[in-house]
């Protein structure tokens, strides 16, 4: 895969150079992320060599790890497994949000943070960074950041975080949305 | 119809009308455009109330109260009427719609659909003994008995923990409890109880908190897994005793995700 990346790298840089300077970093990350999605193949199973004998019986294997489709997002945002484990449990299918409170000042900011986190949660489940409005409303009520009269307005005011959609349709994270989600995950893990 | 979205739209418009009414410098609401907006919003409210009436999610009495306030507001809007009366009715409609209808609807619709994600989580479980508890637990959740659902699901966890520990043999189990008592490590130094079991059913008399601690001692669970399972047990205890705590469907789903992963589908407990 590294050889292919080397071969494609000049093309990626050329594409990035066509975007305005302030957006080049984001563009680079997005393109690289998509490249990984397109080129990542499941790793072959490791050879059955005998592992070093454990001192005590090992802990149970976690059922299902991070889906491959999420790995580029984690890499692009410098999110390690340790960081992810502080925010979601488990870090694969059936992931649950661990945070007891959602970061942000005021209900609107919290709602946006929550929507981004739910999209990542769904990605851990299925690989797609999406979230239904039904789930968002339910979780927003749970986390006390649901403001009914401003729900749509808040999502509309932060539409750059989501791919274009019709009213009432599911949310899907855009490039800036994924970047912001990465920042939120890191801030929760850092205990901020 | 997306009821939540429709209610949000009605509320958004009502709040906007409320602001405009508050801004009026006259004692009455006489302007035709403002009165028309009230009537138009009422027209958007009618199909929503129709859907809410046919369902059983929201309290009929609360729905009736909002409907009565709407009728009075529309009557006021038919001709120039005192601003004070408008303000009072708008306040009732907005407050009740938000807290008693919309919030209840969101929570209620979460209850109506909670069965699917829970069944998905327990789908890989084939043990009929466990399914007996889990099926009953999920049916409780679907009828909004969330606390009962939590307690019944824990029965499946306790069943599996008991079965695993008794499979060691009573003599070994007694010996492991004694070893755990002697362990002065951070995790175990607070455990001081003497347990001497004679038969398998005796194990059921032991505190679940001690049994899962033994599972940690025997390394069926690591520290993080133990911490989450202890959290699940705390929730079960909060639901199984008279407390004011009422978990919502979101909490229940997280609880199910934990117990299935940590015990029910954990190969260490097989």
Q: Is A45 on the interface with B (CB under 8 A)?
A: no
Statement to judge: residues B108 and B118 lie in one domain: no
Give, in order, the Cα–Cα distances in Å from A118 to each of A84, A114, A122, B49. Answer: 13, 6, 6, 30
What total of structural domains would you count in chain A? 2
- Inter-chain CB proximity B267 and A61 less than 8 Å: yes
CA distance A136 to chain B (A): 10
pLDDT of residue B214: 97
The three-state (H, E, C) secondary structure of chain A, written as one string = CHHHHHHHHHHHHHHHHCCCHHHHHHHHHHHHHHHHHHHCCCCCCCCCCCCCCCCCCCCCCCCCCCCHHHHHHHHHCCCCHHHHHCCEECCCCCCEECCCCCCCCHHHHHHHHHHHHHHHHHHHHHCCCEECHHHHHHHHHHCCCCCHHHHHHHHHHCHHHECCCCCCCCEEECHHHHHHHHHHHHHHHCCC
- Inter-chain CB proximity A96 and B5 less than 8 Å: no
Residue B258 dihedral angles phi and psi, to the nearest 5°: -70, -50
- Inter-chain CB proximity B221 and A134 less than 8 Å: no
**Please, what is the angle between helix B208-217 and helix B223-240, to 10°?**
170
Q: Look at residue A44 and tell me if it is in a domain.
A: no
Statement to judge: residues B142 and B106 lie in one domain: no
pLDDT of residue A49: 38
Distance (Å, whole) CA A177 – CA A181 = 6
Q: What is the mean pLDDT of residues B130-152?
A: 95
- Inter-chain CB proximity A60 and B267 less than 8 Å: yes
Statement to judge: residues A147 and A79 lie in one domain: yes
Statement to judge: residues A169 and A84 lie in one domain: yes
Residue in B closest to A63 by C-alpha: B261
Instruction: Give the model confidence (pLDDT) of B5-14 as tens digits.
Output: 999 999 999 9
Residue in B closest to A136 by C-alpha: B106
Q: Which domain holds residue B94?
A: 3-112
Q: Look at residue A8 and tell me if it is in a domain.
A: yes
Statement to judge: residues A89 and A166 lie in one domain: yes
Cβ contacts (< 8 Å) between B48 and chain A: which residues? none
Instruction: Give the model confidence (pLDDT) of B22-56 as tens digits.
Output: 999 999 998 899 999 999 999 999 999 999 998 88
Statement to judge: residues A174 and A88 lie in one domain: yes
Residue A21, Cβ density class (10 Å: 0-12 exposed, 13-18 middle, ≥19 buried): exposed
Cβ contacts (< 8 Å) between B5 and chain A: which residues? 133, 152, 167-168
Statement to judge: residues B82 and B215 lie in one domain: no
Statement to judge: residues B22 and B125 lie in one domain: no
Substitution target in B1, B5, B222 with the highest count of A β-carbons within 10 Å is B5
- Inter-chain CB proximity B261 and A63 less than 8 Å: yes
Q: Is B7 on the interface with A (CB under 8 A)?
A: yes
- Inter-chain CB proximity B8 and A148 less than 8 Å: yes
Distance (Å, whole) CA B18 – CA B10 = 12
CATH classification at residue B77: 1.20.120
Statement to judge: residues B129 and B237 lie in one domain: yes
- Sequence length of chain A is 192
Statement to judge: residues B62 and B150 lie in one domain: no
Q: Look at residue A80 and tell me if it is in a domain.
A: yes
Residue in A closest to B119 by C-alpha: A94
| pLDDT greater than 70 at residue B243 | yes
Statement to judge: residues A179 and A91 lie in one domain: yes
Q: Is B101 on the interface with A (CB under 8 A)?
A: no
Residue in B11, B106, B221 closest to A141 by CB: B106
User: Which pTM was predicted?
Assistant: 0.74
Q: Is B161 on the interface with A (CB under 8 A)?
A: no
Q: Which domain holds residue A7?
A: 2-39
Instruction: Give the model confidence (pLDDT) of B93-109 as tens digits.
Output: 999 999 999 999 999 89
Statement to judge: residues A23 and A74 lie in one domain: no
Statement to judge: residues A19 and A75 lie in one domain: no
Statement to judge: residues B53 and B170 lie in one domain: no
Mark which of B112, B128, B160 sits at the end of a domain.
Answer: B112
pLDDT of residue B157: 97
With a CB-CB cutoff of 8 Å, which residues 158-177 of chain A face chain B?
A: 167-168
A29 vs B140, which has greater pLDDT? Answer: B140
Token digits for B88?
Answer: 């009072």
Q: Is A144 on the interface with B (CB under 8 A)?
A: no
Q: Is B110 on the interface with A (CB under 8 A)?
A: yes
Q: Note whether B64 and B41 are within 8 A (CB).
A: no
What total of structural domains would you count in chain B? 2
Mark which of B112, B131, B162 sits at the end of a domain.
Answer: B112
Statement to judge: residues A92 and A179 lie in one domain: yes
Statement to judge: residues B243 and B131 lie in one domain: yes
Statement to judge: residues A30 and A99 lie in one domain: no
Statement to judge: residues B64 and B144 lie in one domain: no
The ipTM value here is 0.78
Q: Is A152 on the interface with B (CB under 8 A)?
A: yes
Q: Look at residue A171 and tell me if it is in a domain.
A: yes
Statement to judge: residues B107 and B124 lie in one domain: no
Provide the 10 A C-beta neighbour count for residue A58: 11
Statement to judge: residues B81 and B139 lie in one domain: no
pLDDT of residue B112: 87
Statement to judge: residues B60 and B162 lie in one domain: no
Please report the number of interchain residue pairs, chain A to chain B, with beta-carbon separation below 8 angstroms: 80
Instruction: Give the model confidence (pLDDT) of A32-73 as tens digits.
Output: 666 665 665 443 334 433 333 333 333 333 445 788 889 999
Statement to judge: residues A96 and A157 lie in one domain: yes
Distance (Å, whole) CA B126 – CA B14 = 52
- Sequence length of chain B is 270
A101 vs A62, which has greater pLDDT? Answer: A101
Distance (Å, whole) CA A141 – CA B104 = 10
Q: Is A134 on the interface with B (CB under 8 A)?
A: yes
pLDDT of residue A64: 55
Q: Is B127 on the interface with A (CB under 8 A)?
A: no
Cβ neighbours for A37, distance < 8 A, ≥ 6 positions apart: A69, A72
Mark which of B67, B88, B112 sits at the end of a domain.
Answer: B112
Q: Look at residue A105 and tell me if it is in a domain.
A: yes
């Amino acid at each position: 895969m590294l050889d292919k990346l080397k071969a494609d790298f000049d093309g990626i840089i050329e594409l990035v150079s066509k975007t305005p300077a302030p957006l080049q970093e984001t563009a680079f990350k997005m393109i690289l992320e998509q490249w990984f999605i397109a080129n990542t193949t499941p790793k072959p199973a490791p050879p059955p060599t005998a592992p070093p004998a454990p001192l005590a019986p090992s802990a149970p294997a976690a059922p299902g790890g991070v889906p491959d489709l999420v790995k580029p997002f984690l890499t692009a945002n410098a999110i390690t497994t340790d960081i992810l484990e502080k925010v979601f449990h488990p870090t694969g299918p059936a992931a649950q949000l661990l945070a007891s409170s959602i970061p942000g000042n005021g209900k609107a900011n919290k709602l946006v943070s929550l929507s981004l986190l739910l999209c990542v949660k769904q990605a851990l489940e299925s690989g797609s960074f999406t979230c239904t409005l039904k789930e968002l409303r339910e979780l927003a009520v749970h986390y006390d950041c649901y403001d009914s009269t401003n729900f749509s307005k808040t999502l509309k005011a932060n539409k750059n975080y989501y791919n274009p959609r019709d009213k009432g349709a599911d949310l899907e994270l855009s490039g800036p949305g994924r970047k912001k989600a990465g920042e939120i995950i890191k801030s929760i893990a850092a205990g901020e | 119809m997306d009821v939540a979205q429709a209610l949000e739209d009605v509320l958004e418009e009502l709040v906007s009308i409320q602001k405009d009414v508050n801004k009026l410098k006259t004692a009455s609401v006489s302007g035709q455009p403002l009165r028309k907006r009230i009537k138009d919003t009422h027209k958007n409210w009618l199909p929503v109330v129709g859907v809410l009436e046919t369902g059983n999610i929201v309290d009929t009495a609360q729905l009736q109260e909002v409907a009565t306030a709407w009728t009075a507001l529309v009557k006021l809007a038919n001709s120039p009427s005192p601003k004070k009366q408008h303000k009072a009715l708008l306040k009732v409609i907005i407050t009740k719609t938000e807290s008693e209808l919309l919030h209840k609807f969101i929570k209620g619709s979460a209850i109506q659909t909670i069965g699917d994600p829970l069944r998905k989580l327990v789908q890989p479980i084939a043990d009929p003994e466990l399914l007996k508890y889990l099926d009953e637990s999920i049916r409780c959740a679907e009828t909004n008995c969330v606390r009962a659902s939590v307690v019944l699901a824990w029965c499946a966890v306790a069943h599996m923990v008991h079965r695993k520990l008794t499979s060691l043999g009573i003599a070994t189990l007694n010996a492991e409890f004694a070893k755990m008592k002697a362990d002065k490590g951070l995790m175990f130094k607070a455990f001081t109880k003497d347990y001497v079991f004679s038969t398998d059913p005796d194990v059921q008399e032991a505190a679940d908190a001690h049994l899962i601690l033994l599972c940690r001692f025997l390394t069926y669970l690591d520290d993080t897994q133990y911490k989450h399972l202890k959290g699940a047990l705390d929730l079960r205890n909060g639901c199984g005793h008279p407390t004011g705590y009422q978990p919502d469907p979101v909490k229940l789903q997280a609880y199910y995700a934990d117990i299935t992963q940590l015990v029910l589908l954990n190969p260490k407990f097989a």
